[in-house]
Each structure stands twice: as structure tokens, then as C-alpha cells.
Amino acid sequence: MVNKYKILIVDDDTDLSMLICDMLSDNGYDYMTAKSLDDAYEILEHENVHLILLDINLPDGTGFELCQELRRVSEIPVIFASARTSENDKVKGLDMGGDDYIAKPYSIKELMSRINSLIRRTYGFKGKNSNYTLQAGKDNVIEIDTGSHTVKRVTGEKSSTISLSLKEYDLLLYLCEHNSQAVSKEELVNAVWGAFSDVEPSTLTVHIRWLREKLENNPSKPVFIKTVWGVGYILEETTE
């Protein structure tokens, strides 16, 4: 889910990957692992990933190749983690779009610190359990509890649960995290369906329509999720 950051570890060292997975789990992150470029592309096509920890030397190519392809379609943060420690490799990794570079062998604590720092810089300082309230008048209130993954409509002292699909929930939460910012259709598709997904723009349009039907009092005149013509969508009237 969007509210729990997911880290993709691309490394053919299984023992090291498992050690990192344990560390990520202890610090409240979700994780996935890939041992090759093919595995990584498959995951990125279908999964929403928030950060990639990327080795350079892989069985079917290099991490440089993955980063270069990724930057054509996405700004997902990338930390290179490699035994290749030459200045040229570091400069190459950063110049092609890497956000950080840590040399093996490294301290697990230092790696965790760098991951936390990059997540904060990229997604802000909100904790993974931040809650949101959408409000357009006292009788038009939507509450999102990210801890329990529930969305409720509140009318006076009464509340009712709004049933959302996983993709609808992820879309809503991504828009909440970018409150009052115009988010492009491409960014939304990359964030929710994956950087290399083959989802058509019409799929996003349909999911936005479904969200409006569930959240808005009048879906044809939305007050929360508004269209920004030529760009994408913006969520307004939200407070935390």
C-alpha cells in the first residue's frame, strides 16, 4: 500500500538481501527482492515501489542499465550499493540518475539511515500512519485512517465505511500525500500500478471516476478530486 513504503532490493547476494530485509521489516518497511534485471523489471511492471537499493554487477547486466531505463519513466529514488568503489563508477551512477551511492561492505545502520533520509526527502516527513480528513462543509467529511486502511464518511455523530478497492485506496492516498498539488496521469500510473506497467490512461480515468462516485456528493461536480486539464488530477480541501 502507498502508506507503507516498499523497498526493492536488486542484488544477487541472497544472504545480504535477507539481512537487509530483516532490517527493513524491523523499521516498518515493506520489501521485495530481485536477483537479476529481469526479476526487477517484472516487479516494477506490477508493483508500486518507493525506493530501489541497486547493486551494479548482476547476472544479466548492470544496475546502470536498470537505472537508465527507470529514469525514462519514473523518479523512484535509487541507492546504488556496490563493491565497485572507483570514483568513475560513483560518478556514473549519480550522473545517470542515482540518488545515493554506498560502497560494499557497508554498515547496516548506515544503510538504514540513508534509506530513511532519502524516503524523507522524497516523500516528506509524514509518518507512515498519518491520517487524513477531506472536508467540504461540516456535512461533507471523509476520514482516511492509514493505520487500519479504512475510509469513512462522517455525518454529524454518525459514520459509515466506504468500501474501496486496493487501487482506489492507493490512488486516494497518493493524492492525499500530494495535497493541493497537480499530479500528472503518468505519475499516478507509475506510483500505483508500477513504473513499467502497461496500464492505459483510460484505466486511471475509470478508477478516478469510481473514486468520485464513492466520495463525492455529486460526482459530476467534484469538490475533492478535481481534473487539471492537460495535466492530471488534484485533491483539494484536505486537512490533517
CATH number at residue 207: 1.10.10.10
Give the domain range for residue 116.
6-123
Give CA angle at 34 (42, 199), nearest 5°. Answer: 20
Q: What is the CATH number for 106?
A: 3.40.50.2300
Residue 25: phi and psi, rounded to 5, are: -60, -45
* Residue 218 within a domain: yes
Which position has the grid cell 545502520? 109
Same domain, 78 and 176: no
Residue 177 falls within a domain, yes or no? yes
Q: Name the domain boundary from 64, 98, 123.
A: 123
Element (H, E) at 177: helix 166-177
Q: How far is CA 103 from CA 90, 98, 138, 139, in A?
A: 9, 14, 54, 55
Q: Are residues 51 and 141 in the same domain?
A: no
Distance CA 101, CA 55 (A): 10
Q: CA-CA distance, 177 to 197, in Å (whole number)?
A: 22
Q: State the average pLDDT for the chain.
A: 88
Model's pTM, two decimal places? 0.68
Number of structural domains (the chain) is 2
Same domain, 143 and 94: no
Domain shared by 152 and 204, yes or no: yes
Q: Give the CA count within 13 Å in the CB-facing half-sphere of 225.
A: 28
- Rounded to 10 degrees, what is the CA torsion of 160, 164, 166, 167? -140
> Which of 105, 123, 141 is the C-terminal boundary of a domain?
123
Q: Same domain, yes or no, for 157 and 205?
A: yes
Residues 77 and 138 in one domain: no
Are 16 and 119 in a shared domain?
A: yes
What 3-state DSSP class applies to 18?
Answer: helix
Give residue-wise pLDDT tens across range 62-117: 999 999 999 988 888 999 999 988 899 989 999 989 999 999 988 888 899 889 88
Based on the domain organization, do 98 and 35 belong to the same domain? yes
Answer with the one of 89, 123, 157 that is the final residue of a domain: 123
Residues 101 and 17 in one domain: yes
| Residue pLDDT tens, the chain, 240 long | 444 789 999 999 999 999 999 999 988 899 999 999 999 999 998 888 999 999 999 999 999 999 999 998 888 899 999 998 889 998 999 998 999 999 998 888 889 988 988 888 787 655 445 688 998 877 789 999 887 778 999 887 788 999 998 889 989 988 998 888 999 998 898 888 887 777 888 999 999 999 999 999 899 999 999 999 999 999 986 554
Integer Cα distance of 40 and 220 in angstroms: 40
Three-class DSSP category at 131 = coil
Whether residue 1 is contained in a domain is answered as: no
CA geometry: angle 191, 94, 19, nearest 5 deg: 70
